[in-house]
Amino acid sequence: MNTLQTKAEQRLIADYYDDLARTFGQRISDEGKERIQKAFEFANSAHAGVKRKSGEPYIIHPLAVAHIVSSEIGLGATSIISAILHDVVEDTDYTLEDIENLFGEKVSKVVDGLTKLSDEITSTHDSKQATNFRKMLMTLSDDVRVILIKLADRLHNMRTLDSMQPNKQLKIAAETLYIFAPLAHRLGLYTIKTELEDLSLKYTHPETYSQILFRLHSQKERRDYLVEEFIAPIESQLKSENINFNISGRLKSVFSIWNKMQTKGVSFDEVYDLMAIRIVFNPKNNLSEKRQCFDILSIITDIYKPKPDRIRDWITIPKANGYEALHVTVMGPQGKWVEVQIRTQRMDEIAERGFAAHYKYKGDETPESELDRWLEKIREMLQNPESDALEFLDEFKMNLYSSEIIVFTPKGEMVNLPKGSTIIDFAYEIHTDLGNHCIGAKINHKLVPVSHVLQSGDQVEILTSKTQLPDISWLKFIITAKAKGKVKQAFKLDKKRHLEKGREIIEEKLKKHNIKPSSDTLKKLSSYYNLSNKDQLYAQVGMGFLELDELESILKTRRENKLAKFWTLSFGWNKKDKPEEKQFEFPKRKIDKKGTFILKENPEESNYSLAKCCQPIPGEEVLGYINSNNHVIIHKRNCPEANKLMSQQGDRIITAEWTKFKKRSYLSHIKLNGFDRVGILNEVTTIISKQNNINMRTVMFDTHDGIFEGDLYLYIHNVEDLKNLIARLMKIKGIDSVLRIESIEE
């Protein structure tokens, strides 16, 4: 009995352990259960007296993670023990040596992979988040279970995120969306991936999340009726064919609905495929699974007409994470498109629990899979000593989503590549020498350049020349981490030369503006281009990736009645005009990272500026990023750049809120389209001129074959005014859509 815990706490802990034990079943041997019990008693004693932010005893968290590992991923005793012990080394006085002595080398290695880095190990300019993640991935070389347990750990943290401070919630949610959800997807853990995405949205966009949830709930009865109407004839036909099956409706996740609304620019009501119907059947022994899946597809398309371009065969060629299924979209009752997924029970288990768990830890004799090849690519990336942690994280992110195109070698061998891959990506995928000497390719006997983007089904013959060498410009269009790594490796000997060349270019350009290349100035420039330090800045400029074309606009003095600037750099005037150098700086204001940063109408008084990448408007959901000059840059919460900053430099993220803005206006771009008719332009401009607080800068209309497109550039005070205007414009007869365009070229 632990004297540091109350009786109520002891009862709560016992209940959690009993819940965990109920998930074991026949999967865990008696010896395994004894080892798990021993690990629990050890961890409970080690964490005794420690509380989580929620006020619960700390041991509840490791037990909850172990529960996810056991019941939702289906891993064995070693993984469950590692999950129970995953915070012991980091948070208590016990060492990895103690863990190895008590529970063996395997558990010790997994726990080591799950233990975060100490501050001393992290280099000064690398993000601690990124470095921790790289270290965790290094254990992939030995044991993929580290990642699976880490995903379970993250899932429980997301489920209990309510007790964290708002800025921590933002950091953890964005990191989850940027790395952990795609990682779960890559490892085939679809259920976990979906929950991670939904929970991330709940904390990054709480209002939007609640609205979508409410709309889904309010339409439930109508949806249930449509599902019953749709599946009735299919059920009847499958039964008559003596097929042992289960059919169910699966609702699109909140995140995927929101994502479609964002990427397609549509409203909730326009997301047509909210529902998917899933048929899971028990295959007969005397026929192949693939044949039986296509038989069921034939039954469905006899009842409902299929959409020709929406049949997906993931059985002949499974996805990179092992996912197998047949998908078809058909025209259902009441003119609604419905997606139907056809799987065997085996395929369904792989889809729900993940291919990694299925074949690695159940003793299946599986030939080398796409997942194995992916893990091998990650190991190659990890062995490249040249990439820093932030660069590695970006490259790893590019490799997370499943391969989307399939191309063929001249001999007919199949190669999987990410969508958007070029001739160079393909060449390096085959062999390093082929990539290094590539001068072009032939696709279907037609000559194409090295930058040509491949399409699924292309048969590619690489053309080489002994005199050809890797070209630094290739980095502008190649997308696979392997190709990028090989090209960078070829240029690593020139790194010093690039740094020197970049330094000379920057100093020359600053000299033209009479500005000294002080560390403060270089910090501001690095921050402006989202680089970690001056060396990265020099290298990017030296290799020709940064032209510094915006230098003049970055260095201009403050302009009245314009959009707020990121910052104002120190200026030097010509000695004839001014006898001494004068400094323009934002007043330094102490920033409370835990509190909410209030955005006042005068940005210079408040020490903030608006990000150019997403152009936030007063009233929108925003957050702040504290740059190296202690200046706050305001981003929209759904800005991809903000998402990247939160996942890599989350400790610099703060929550932010607007005050009421009355004087300062912000430039916004609205795009209209619809059917042209006499007087429509006049109606649009009349509505704008009648709405208070909005001024027109530019109005451009173009008509073609009875369809018009319009671009409006308006000065507005806040997002409410913009929403009201959009609602009024949508009521004009003939207008089909009104969209706000977020990036503005001034």
Dist CA 133 CA 518 (whole Å): 33
Chain position carrying tokens 């004894």: 34
What is the SS3 assignment for 347-360?
Answer: HHHHHHHCHHHHHH
**pLDDT at residue 565, rounded to an integer:** 36
Q: What is the pLDDT of residue 566?
A: 37
Return d(Cα 400, Cα 609) in angstroms, integer.
33
pTM over 0.85: no
Provide the pLDDT for residue 3: 60
- CATH code for the part of the protein at 371-494: 3.10.20.30
Q: Which residues of 274-297 are buried (b: 16+ CB within 10 A; e: fewer)?
A: bbbbbbbbebeeeeebeebbbebb
pLDDT at 269: 75
| Model pLDDT, residue 128 | 64
Separation of CA 356 from chain center:
21
What pLDDT is stored for residue 177 in this prediction? 86
CATH code that applies to domain 212-360: 3.30.460.10
- C-alpha 219/C-alpha 212 separation (Å) is 11
Residue 609: strand, helix, or coil:
strand
Mean pLDDT per 10-residue run, the chain (746 residues)?
Answer: 73 90 86 92 88 85 93 87 90 87 89 64 50 64 76 92 86 85 82 93 90 88 85 93 90 88 76 82 90 94 88 83 87 85 89 61 49 65 58 62 74 84 93 92 89 90 90 87 82 71 84 77 75 77 74 51 36 38 45 74 72 82 83 85 80 83 79 86 85 78 85 85 87 85 59
Residue 738: its H or E element: strand 735-741
Q: Which are the catalytic amino acids?
A: 90-91
Question: What is the fold, at CATH topology level, of the domain defined by 7-206?
Answer: Hypothetical protein af1432 (1.10.3210)
**666-741: which CATH architecture?**
2-Layer Sandwich (3.30)
Tally of CB atoms within 10 A around 554? 17
Whether 7-206 shares its CATH topology with 212-360 is answered no
Rounded-to-integer distance, Cα 281 and Cα 278, Å: 10
- What long-range pairs does 264-268 form, CB within 8 A, spacing at least 24? 265/737, 265/739, 268/211, 268/212, 268/215
Q: How far apart are CA 58 and CA 132, in angstroms?
A: 22
Where exactly are the structural domains of the chain? Answer: 7-206, 212-360, 371-494, 596-658, 666-741
